[in-house]
Structure 1
Amino acid sequence: MARLPVITGFGGINPAGRSSFHHGYRRLVLDALPESKVQRTLQSLAALMGRSVHDRDDILNHTLIRKIERDWFDTEAIPCNRHMPLAPAEEAVSFVTRARNLPETLPESWTVTEVEKGRVRVDMRGVSDFLVQTTRTSEVRAAGQLPSGFDPAALYPSRNHPRGLQLAIYGASDAIQSVGIEWQALLSAVRPDQVGVYASSAMAQLDDNSFAGLLSARHSGKRVTSKQLALGLADMPSDFVNAYVLGNIGSTGPSLGACATFLYNLRAGVQDIRSGRARIAIVGAAEAPINPDVIDGYATMGALATDAGLMKLDGTDRLSEADYRRACRPFAENCGFTIAEATQFVVLMDDELALEQGAMIYGSVPDVFINADGYKKSISSPGAGNYLTVAKAASLAREILGDTALRERSFVQAHGTGTPQNRVTESHILNEVAKAFGIGSWPVAAIKAYLGHTISSASGDQLAATLGVWAEGILPGIATVSRFADDIHTSNLSLSQAHREIDCDIALLNSKGFGGNNATATAFSPAATRRLLEAKHGKRVLAQWQAKEEAVAVEAARYDDKAISGTANVIYRFDHQVLSGEELTLSDTEISLPGYAQPVSLAVETPYADWLNKV
């Protein structure tokens, strides 16, 4: 029978805080929660930020979108080099320097003479090019930064890892521990090759410990290190989780799809579980793009909300009045997206394993749909593909849960970037699909209003927030908006600035990635998932699962308590039970590995068996 991919754990961090146990989601809707949950959320943030829970205003002011903080980098004094051609005012310019500082190839206009051992005099005639160290001011000063004071590098021996990989270690560790079942116990329940890890970044690693350092080293007079190239690769989040968190020898399948990257990875995990190739899938993404060069690139494209753009929107010429908290304004008059950093991971199991293990069930993902745009005028412009993905996701939901459920008990997590083009194109897509399926007033959320755009992790943010909606029954409003734009399509959509109570079983997570990477996931609530499981397995099996699940929930809550108290450890196992290959026991039917309870079967199913009878 078909296998349903069930969400049994999730974790990570974004500008709202830690994702597991809905803490990050609750930061988005804090003003709609009872005080007991508000305090729990503040405790979680205080632990991350190294602050007292009583510093409420300080905690809130240093989460979500805000002005880039100086301890990250100074937006008003970004180091750079200025190209400066110099010519002597007289016959020559002379200076003295160390011989080792001379370039390998001397300019033709230079004459070099030794003045003493190790020191030389340079006489420069004619024009020479120099780079002069200076600083520049960024035209973009808003970003979705992680909570102030949170430092993933301090949580484990990070050894100069790029920040994106530090985040991946934290996110995967948080998700694994949120399950409430020891990883070794889960691993003992399946063959080791029935575990898959599907995680990546979209832009690769771009700080000084990775590609940025590699590409700039020689230009800035430094040396390339042995790690910068290797650790810069976009697949490294999967590699690090396999090697240092899980010890995974099963499938690994990092996928890239620009802003839809998390959903690309999710589809790979969902398909492997549905096919039986995997019974456990760890799906995630990690992105750390808040650095001056990346911001400069997006700003030059005209994609980011600049200070000047924000001031124009608010009708002021005073920089001090730029409202950085409202930099991202989905479906309103806006001027660009707001860049942000995050990592998100989910743990999927097939339905049978989840029930056997008594795993908590946060929801399920029956499928993810991906379509390109066809021929394009510009690589960054939208196209037809997203109409296909949204319509397919809606059709699947109707096929499984019925027409009434889709029309009356579904909502959309919009891509909602906060750009003028997105507000028109995405609203048209959602509105037309709603019309086609008879949805009169489709609730739409756009959480980038709070978090900014975390690139590869953006749809992971959507999924984490969706699990929170099902837990609390509150759909986050688009609170940064004063009024919605006149040019958007809303005849069959329901957009709100205020938080709304909602009781839904279906969520569509939508991503419109740069380059035509469109993806939409269909996700079902815990209640709808349980109804499906009962229909497949029967009430007796569900009752047995529920009895086991209570104990698992207690263990998971213990991890949450430790995390809130600041005593939870990040899983990082460097040089731990390393296998060289000589320890393996091989036969022509299976391979046994030390440390793994079950062997790897070599019985490979082939879809071509029927062909052989005709050969």
Structure 2
Amino acid sequence: MSVARLPVIVGFGGFNAAGRSSGHHAYRRLVIESLPEESRQETLAGLAVMMGLVSHVDGAYRDSADQVLGLADIAARYGEQVLDGTLIRRIDKTFFDVDAAHWQKSAALGSGESTLVFELRKRDLPEPPPPEWVIEDLDGDKVRVTAASLEVKFDSYRDIPVKSAGQLPRGFNPGSLYNSHYHPRALQLAVIGASDAIQSMGLKWQEIMAVVQPDQVAVYASNVMSQMDENGFGGLLQSRLKGGRVSAKQCPLGLNTMPADFVNAYILGSVGQTGAITGACASFLYNLQAAAEDIASGKCRVAVVGCAEAPIVAEIIDGYATMGALASEDKLKKLDGTDEADPRRTSRPFGENAGFTMAEASQYVVLMDDALAIELGADIHGAVGDVFINADGFKKSISAPGPGNYVTMAKAVASARAILGEESVKKRSFIQAHGSSTPQNRVTESQIFDQVAQVFGIDAWPVSAVKAYVGHSLSAASGEQLIASLGVFKYGIIPGIKTIDKVADDVFADRLQISTRDVVVSQPLDVAFLNSKGFGGNNATASIFAPHVVERMLKRRYGEKLMARYHDRREQVRTAAQAYDQAALQGDFATIYHFGEGLIDESQIKLDLESLQLPGFVQAVDLTFVNRFADMCD
């Protein structure tokens, strides 16, 4: 029986409403009230640089007047502005004006016996003109038209009932970090997020590829809504209605495979396994399962997994709002009994709530098999135990929850118990809930947790829900859960659901610990359960093991002597990772983007019966296969 390889997490990065994910900085924004003062000041300074409030020049932080600032100065002067410009908040006008969103109002001009007479340029005539029009040539290029009536569309502006979203820190422009000309926003997020994850490792990609065969690398990434802004499918679909022309980029760049394709083509230069798996709001976990299974089976040795979503587009907001899925201002006012809704408290998982809050985000992680991580000295932040995906069976409503999540949650807990033991699950585990902030979710999801807790003997199961802070980023949502969990493992602080005053009365909370304040744990946590539910019956639950648990597992597999050598190599890798982290805190993200570089000369490919050698790659692709179905063949 072959030994399964453990998929360990050696890098993570991305950007969301809380800031940069690598180095745990986005997580630290979630629990900033509970951090030591030095960590709090460092987090505020990093965000202040991202937001353009201060700069870092010649080894020092400086304001617009070139005055040198210390961390305490930044926190005192810009702290409130940083806090106000992050997490969920009123939608910035850089997206659209929620009080006066552009639309077109149809109208009919002319009626009865009167006729319309108007002039226009010949080139502006419709093709072909309506047959009832009487057209008279005038001097120059103008014509006079006489018509009985005319259907027109007027530019109009109207209020959008949903006014809040989880947005990147105010003032931060993702496209400014690399040559992003004509890239849709979701692809800008994919590039900077994946680059952040790769650089967070502290290992050069070339170092990894020197010991890994080209086809032993995998990239699994996607998004749900594709790219719906003007540079993607949005512009493609609107161009004819607006009287414009489709560009050559809008169609290909709109595809929801692009968050993977851009990583392959412009960041890694990979020729390995690739895929873009979607499962509505559980998409990140769908991609994570594929990568983890490939690594455990030996199909690949390194995998980059992620999702990038940019859905703060008027049409998408309209769509979800029409479904009744989003928290509108009117709903919140009625819920709170006030005349003015708080735009920062629209997402209220497990509390009295009114719908979820849309968000943009890019989250990527890098996985390796345990043997490769040991060989390279990679810093291990956790490991993927299992990811389970199950559908709901027959459904009456495509958006309603169903029984599939019972299956995924129960299997994830049972699997973790089999691997780590009963005490780890009962005493040292916690849940990252889907926590979408809808009235139906708070009941159905908590009931699942309660029943699973009862069966496995769990009395006070800690539950966190990061959507309270950053909103619902659709495909990337589970990536936000994962990266927040890595922060919990490191700092021992479970983010409370601070947007609610109390847990709603209909929540099944007897065996759950749902806190409205950050919880400092009394002992290290061993495992996090990430739970995700998506429209259409797309349910997924993953178990993520803490780094100290992984260390114990590796020590058992490799022994003291080999682990000692690994620890020595790891110090160098950690030093390199810290150097990147410090540079990024100061605004130097050094985003990886190779356009037109390192192209493979296909005429230089060497091929024989045993291997295929690609120019530019140290290792060759192995072509020596054994018959997996030998017992069925002659």
Once the two structures are TM-superposed, the CA of residue 307 in structure 1 deviates from its matched residue by 0.5
**For the residues of structure 2 that align with 1:520 and 1:606, how far apart are their CA atoms?**
34
Out of 411, 417, 429, which is 2:436 matched to? 417
Once the two structures are TM-superposed, the CA of residue 590 in structure 1 deviates from its matched residue by 1.0
**For the residues of structure 2 that align with 1:604 and 1:233, how far apart are their CA atoms?**
34
Matched, 1:329 2:335: no
Out of 1, 8, 25, which is 1:23 matched to? 25
Matched, 1:11 2:13: yes
Alignment of 1:314-463 (within 5 A): 314-316=336-338, 318=339, 321-463=340-482
Out of 596, 600, 611, which is 2:617 matched to? 596
Correspondence for 1:178: 200
Code of the aligned partner of 2:39: K
Correspondence for 1:289: 311
**For the residues of structure 1 that align with 2:615 and 2:105, how far apart are their CA atoms?**
58
Matched, 1:135 2:157: yes
Could you list the per-position Cα deviations for residues 560-582 of structure 1 after superposition, in whole angstroms to 9, with x for gaps in the alignment?
01101112310000001112522
Code of the aligned partner of 1:210: G
Judged with a 3 Å threshold, the aligned counterparts in structure 2 of structure 1 residues 110 and 606 are, in CA distance, closer, same or farther, namely farther
Alignment of 1:171-320 (within 5 A): 171-316=193-338, 318=339
**For the residues of structure 2 that align with 1:426 and 1:27, how far apart are their CA atoms?**
26
Matched, 1:584 2:586: no
Secondary structure in 2 matching 1:132: strand
Judged with a 3 Å threshold, the aligned counterparts in structure 2 of structure 1 residues 571 and 424 are, in CA distance, closer, same or farther, namely same
Correspondence for 1:144: 166
Correspondence for 1:546: 567
Correspondence for 1:511: 532
Once the two structures are TM-superposed, the CA of residue 230 in structure 1 deviates from its matched residue by 0.6
**For the residues of structure 2 that align with 1:136 and 1:269, how far apart are their CA atoms?**
45
Q: Which moved more, 1:445-454 or 1:68-77?
A: 68-77
* Percent of aligned pairs with the same amino acid: 52
Out of 119, 123, 126, which is 2:142 matched to? 119
Correspondence for 2:93: 70
Once the two structures are TM-superposed, the CA of residue 145 in structure 1 deviates from its matched residue by 0.5
Q: Which moved more, 1:304-313 or 1:73-82?
A: 73-82
Correspondence for 2:631: 610
Correspondence for 1:485: 504
Could you list the per-position Cα deviations for residues 268-317 of structure 1 after superposition, in whole angstroms to 9, with x for gaps in the alignment?
1001101111100000000000011100111000000001011111101x
Once the two structures are TM-superposed, the CA of residue 106 in structure 1 deviates from its matched residue by 2.1
Could you list the per-position Cα deviations for residues 153-209 of structure 1 after superposition, in whole angstroms to 9, with x for gaps in the alignment?
111111210000000000000000000011101111100110000001111111000
**For the residues of structure 2 that align with 1:473 and 1:187, how far apart are their CA atoms?**
35
CA contact (8 A) 1:109 1:128 kept: no
Q: Which moved more, 1:339-348 or 1:130-139?
A: 130-139
Could you list the per-position Cα deviations for residues 330-366 of structure 1 after superposition, in whole angstroms to 9, with x for gaps in the alignment?
0111100000000000000000000110000100002
Once the two structures are TM-superposed, the CA of residue 605 in structure 1 deviates from its matched residue by 4.1
**For the residues of structure 2 that align with 1:478 and 1:547, how far apart are their CA atoms?**
40
CA contact (8 A) 2:177 2:589 kept: no
Code of the aligned partner of 1:23: H
Code of the aligned partner of 2:450: N
Q: Unmatched 5+ residue regions in structure 2?
A: 55-73
Once the two structures are TM-superposed, the CA of residue 542 in structure 1 deviates from its matched residue by 1.4
Secondary structure in 1 matching 2:604: coil
Secondary structure in 2 matching 1:377: coil
Could you list the per-position Cα deviations for residues 392-423 of structure 1 after superposition, in whole angstroms to 9, with x for gaps in the alignment?
00001100010111000000000001000100
Q: Which moved more, 1:12-21 or 1:487-496?
A: 487-496
**For the residues of structure 2 that align with 1:473 and 1:142, how far apart are their CA atoms?**
30
Secondary structure in 1 matching 2:333: helix
Could you list the per-position Cα deviations for residues 70-90 of structure 1 after superposition, in whole angstroms to 9, with x for gaps in the alignment?
233211121111111222465
Correspondence for 2:60: none
CA contact (8 A) 1:412 1:509 kept: yes
CA contact (8 A) 2:600 2:616 kept: no
Once the two structures are TM-superposed, the CA of residue 602 in structure 1 deviates from its matched residue by 1.2
Once the two structures are TM-superposed, the CA of residue 244 in structure 1 deviates from its matched residue by 0.3
TM-score by length of 1: 0.98
Q: Which moved more, 1:193-202 or 1:66-75?
A: 66-75
Secondary structure in 2 matching 1:69: coil
Code of the aligned partner of 1:189: V
TM-score by length of 2: 0.95
Once the two structures are TM-superposed, the CA of residue 43 in structure 1 deviates from its matched residue by 1.9
**For the residues of structure 1 that align with 2:573 and 2:533, how far apart are their CA atoms?**
37
**For the residues of structure 1 that align with 2:365 and 2:471, how far apart are their CA atoms?**
20
**For the residues of structure 1 that align with 2:19 and 2:604, how far apart are their CA atoms?**
42
**For the residues of structure 1 that align with 2:620 and 2:318, how far apart are their CA atoms?**
51
CA contact (8 A) 1:47 1:563 kept: no
Matched, 1:473 2:475: no
**For the residues of structure 2 that align with 1:184 and 1:454, how far apart are their CA atoms?**
32
Code of the aligned partner of 1:254: A
Structure 1 segments of 4+ aligned residues over 6 angstroms from their partners: none
Q: Which moved more, 1:538-547 or 1:82-91?
A: 82-91
Code of the aligned partner of 1:230: P
Once the two structures are TM-superposed, the CA of residue 152 in structure 1 deviates from its matched residue by 1.1
CA contact (8 A) 1:88 1:124 kept: no
Could you list the per-position Cα deviations for residues 547-603 of structure 1 after superposition, in whole angstroms to 9, with x for gaps in the alignment?
110111000000001101112310000001112522211112211111111111112
CA contact (8 A) 1:107 1:128 kept: no
Once the two structures are TM-superposed, the CA of residue 211 in structure 1 deviates from its matched residue by 0.6
Secondary structure in 1 matching 2:486: helix
CA contact (8 A) 2:601 2:615 kept: no
Matched, 1:556 2:558: no
Code of the aligned partner of 1:330: P
CA contact (8 A) 2:196 2:589 kept: no
Q: Unmatched 5+ residue regions in structure 1?
A: none
Correspondence for 1:527: 548
Secondary structure in 2 matching 1:46: helix
Correspondence for 1:156: 178
Correspondence for 2:57: none
**For the residues of structure 2 that align with 1:479 and 1:597, how far apart are their CA atoms?**
51
**For the residues of structure 1 that align with 2:94 and 2:43, how far apart are their CA atoms?**
24
Once the two structures are TM-superposed, the CA of residue 108 in structure 1 deviates from its matched residue by 3.3
Code of the aligned partner of 2:156: T
Once the two structures are TM-superposed, the CA of residue 544 in structure 1 deviates from its matched residue by 1.1
Q: Which moved more, 1:574-583 or 1:217-226?
A: 574-583
Judged with a 3 Å threshold, the aligned counterparts in structure 2 of structure 1 residues 522 and 606 are, in CA distance, closer, same or farther, namely farther
**For the residues of structure 1 that align with 2:533 and 2:601, how far apart are their CA atoms?**
43
Code of the aligned partner of 2:572: A
